[in-house]
Amino acid sequence: MTSFGYLGARSGAWLPRVAAVALVASGVPVRAQEAAPGAPAADTFLIDAIEVSGAKILSPDDIENIVYRFTGEKRTSADIEAARKALQDAYAARGYEAAVVEVPPQDQAHLANGIIQIRVLEAPVGEVRVAGAKHHSTETVVKQLPALAAGSPINLKDLQAQLAQANRIPDRTVTPSFKPSKTEGAIDVELKVKDSFPVHGSVELNNDNSPNTDRLRLAASLRYTNLWGVGHTISGSYIVAPRDRRQTEVFSGSYNAPILGTPWTLVLFGFKSNSNIAALGGTQVLGNGYQVGARAIYRLAGEKTDQSFSIGLDYKDFKQNIVLKDNSVTKSPIRYIPLTLGYTWARAGDTTQVDFSVNATLGLRVIRRFQCVADGQGGCSIEDQFSLRDYQSRENFAHINADFTYTRLIADDISLIFKLAGQYADSHLVSNEQFGIGGEGSVRGYFQSEAVGDRGYAGTFQIDGPSLAGSLPDFVGELRPYAFVDYGLVGIINPLTDQRARFGEASVGGGLRLRLFKHLVGGLTVGVPLTTLSDSERGKARVVFTARGEF
């Protein structure tokens, strides 16, 4: 099958006259007009009326308003071409760039009476065919693109937006191509689907642990990306300290439901954690809890940018016992409902990629809980659940988180990466809401979330070297070195008298990323701390490995 034009799934790189190309191939005359056929090129003449045939999208009033200014005495062929172009531009402005407006050979009798004829070929859709779908429904593909309804002219603006929404479904991309139809003046469309099996899983072992816990972490995940045949995704994961699961054990799951034909996606998620983590200052924090949440996400896809807005609610329930030096136990359970608002923006260029997100979390005064705390004299004091959990914290808290990543290709297969993440809070927060620094996703060379605070930031400057896989056997898909400098700082609002208010981390280092046989991924990072904290010593390198199998 010969293809005469393609519509990019996201890029919006439309052929300006894709329908015109198909119409020419079918033998229909389509010409750019320099002079009205049958009219003297230089002489002036009367244009009493302009008759437009084949126009169904534009109303008679629209057409009259467009062409009226080109009628009258002492007109030339340039006025006819200007009227044709004005109609063509009117179709394009409405998204019907595939429509073709032409000046056909003129009837001499009409021309003598000052009547000019213009013909519109609105390029309706002929046959729509879906090809290549192996794991996804062809009916769903067609339903997601109502702009390609048979018999209707193609609106490229609508089609571009619908394609962007259709290609939100994981493991599937749809690209339309065009050819002349057997029906004169129409265009047949072939929707080329490239898809893959919608089940994915992974098992990973690493040693990116938090302070005072066992070094190893085992993580497993499984997801299915085409639930109900409409691109819904259900996923689950499990993270555990395999040698002592009492220290760390987390179950999580999510359900992602894009609403077909709209830019909306609904997301449900939750996790359950059990932990037994030794903290600082001679205390031990014993706790477990769970969180469930919902998000409504509105996505806007552009030619080179993607944006999204989100709103949601969470329910958080965490139980925590604090064992003090004298083995006395203070219970500090907490339940609360925060509102979350989010915005993301991403732009991809030929040599650059920019990603930005900002999220606001607002504590709501929905659940008011108080507890009687023994005062040591046979009585008790009434404490709010937040102040009991963490002194001076409050239920109606607010914090804003922002993340920024800039990636630039500076030479053949060599990239520079700059990352910055931070949090700003209006008041002292409970530990569940604080900002942590340290670990593989933050300041490398330190333990995971080794320092936490109400406000803080973490930055990374990294250079990725060229892949060395080209000089290695074919089963090595990638072997890429990198070097980095990381820095982070967190602070606590209104710290206690004997409490440290600020924590800083800085490190330098490098590592390797490895991919074998397409399904085995590994990594090795060596980070050297430049500052000393309670669990990390300046100059003492920390080595973190990752080994993951995935499908």
Query: Which tens digits make up the pLDDT trace of 231-269?
Result: 999 999 999 999 999 889 999 999 999 998 788 999 999
pLDDT at 279: 39
pLDDT at 378: 63
Which of 176-180, 286-290, 546-550 has the least mean pLDDT?
286-290
Q: Which of 196, 213, 245 is the last residue of a domain?
A: 196
Which of 41-45, 353-357, 465-469 has the least mean pLDDT?
41-45
Biggest CA–CA distance in the chain, Å, is 113
Q: Which domain holds residue 131?
A: 1-196
Q: Is residue 16 part of a domain?
A: yes
pLDDT at 499: 87
Beta strands in 145-243 (DSSP E): 172-180, 187-195, 199-206, 217-227, 232-240
Q: Is residue 268 part of a domain?
A: no
pTM for the model stands at 0.79
Rounded Cα gap, residues 414 and 298, in angstroms: 35
Q: Is residue 29 part of a domain?
A: yes
164 contacts: CB under 8 Å, gap ≥ 6? 9, 10, 301
Rounded Cα gap, residues 195 and 166, in angstroms: 13
Encode 172-208: b = buried (16+ Cβ within 10 Å), e = exposed: bbbbbbbbbbeeebbbbbbbbbebeebebebebebeb
Q: Is residue 406 part of a domain?
A: yes
Rounded Cα gap, residues 69 and 416, in angstroms: 56
| Average pLDDT over all residues of the chain | 87
Q: Is residue 76 part of a domain?
A: yes
Q: Is residue 364 part of a domain?
A: no
**Percent of the chain at pLDDT exceeding 90:** 68
Determine contact, residues 510/542, Cβ cutoff 8 Å: no
User: For residue 335, with 0-12 CB atoms within 10 Å meaning exposed, 13-18 middle and 19 or more buried, which class applies?
Assistant: middle
147 contacts: CB under 8 Å, gap ≥ 6? 154, 155, 158, 159, 162
Q: Is residue 351 part of a domain?
A: no
pLDDT at 375: 58
Determine contact, residues 65/223, Cβ cutoff 8 Å: no
The token pair that represents 107 in the structure block:
């009837």
For the ranges 7-16, 20-29, 531-540, the maximum mean pLDDT occurs at 531-540
CA 168 to chain CA centroid, nearest Å: 9
How large is the average pLDDT for residues 423-429? 96
Q: Which of 144, 162, 196 is the last residue of a domain?
A: 196
Read off the CATH number of the domain in which 475 is found: 2.40.160.50
How large is the average pLDDT for residues 31-35? 46
How large is the average pLDDT for residues 355-362? 98
Determine contact, residues 303/11, Cβ cutoff 8 Å: yes
Query: Which tens digits make up the pLDDT trace of 312-329?
Result: 999 999 886 555 545 555
Residue 307, beta-bridge partner list: 300, 345
Rounded Cα gap, residues 431 and 422, in angstroms: 16
pLDDT at 276: 58
Read off the CATH number of the domain in which 183 is found: 3.10.20.310
Q: Which of 196, 217, 243 is the last residue of a domain?
A: 196
Query: Which tens digits make up the pLDDT trace of 505-516?
Result: 999 999 999 999
Total number of domains constituting the chain: 2
Q: Is residue 430 part of a domain?
A: yes
